[in-house]
């Protein structure tokens, strides 16, 4: 089973703040393009940089795909599918 490159591309471009909010994370806007909240997976401080599109908590970090993987403890393919669903075109 292969994942279309297009789907991966789209998942990478997903809006991190939107994805986090859909996952129930309460975010506060801070300085320097950063949103902060609590990571639902490991309960440590979560920070999202909207300028770079990168997030990090104390245990993990990355882009939207890694975010969904970390939160749901799922694999890469499943994360892509979940993000595609969030766009409404699963
Ligand atoms: Zn975490």
Q: From ligand 1's centre to the CA of 90, what distance in Å? A: 26
Q: What is the pLDDT of residue 7?
A: 94
What average pLDDT is seen over the chain?
A: 92
Mean pLDDT of 7-29: 95
Question: Which residue range(s) make up the domain with 68?
Answer: 5-86
pTM: 0.89
| pLDDT band at residue 89 using 50, 70 and 90 as cut-offs | very low
| pLDDT band at residue 31 using 50, 70 and 90 as cut-offs | confident
Q: From ligand 1's centre to the CA of 71, what distance in Å? A: 7
- pLDDT (tens digit, 9 = 90+) per residue, 49-74? 999 999 999 999 999 999 999 999 99
Number of domains in the chain: 1
**Three-state DSSP class for 88?**
coil
Q: From ligand 1's centre to the CA of 2, what distance in Å? A: 28
CATH number for position 25: 3.90.580.10
């Amino acid at each position: 089973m292969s994942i279309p490159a297009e789907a991966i591309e789209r998942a990478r471009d997903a809006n991190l703040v939107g994805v986090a909010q859909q996952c129930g994370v309460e975010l506060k806007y801070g300085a320097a393009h950063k949103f902060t909240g609590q990571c639902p997976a490991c309960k440590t401080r979560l920070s999202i940089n909207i300028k770079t599109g990168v997030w990090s908590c104390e245990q993990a970090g990355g882009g939207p795909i890694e975010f969904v993987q970390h939160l749901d403890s799922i694999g890469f393919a499943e994360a892509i599918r979940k993000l595609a669903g969030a766009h409404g075109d699963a």
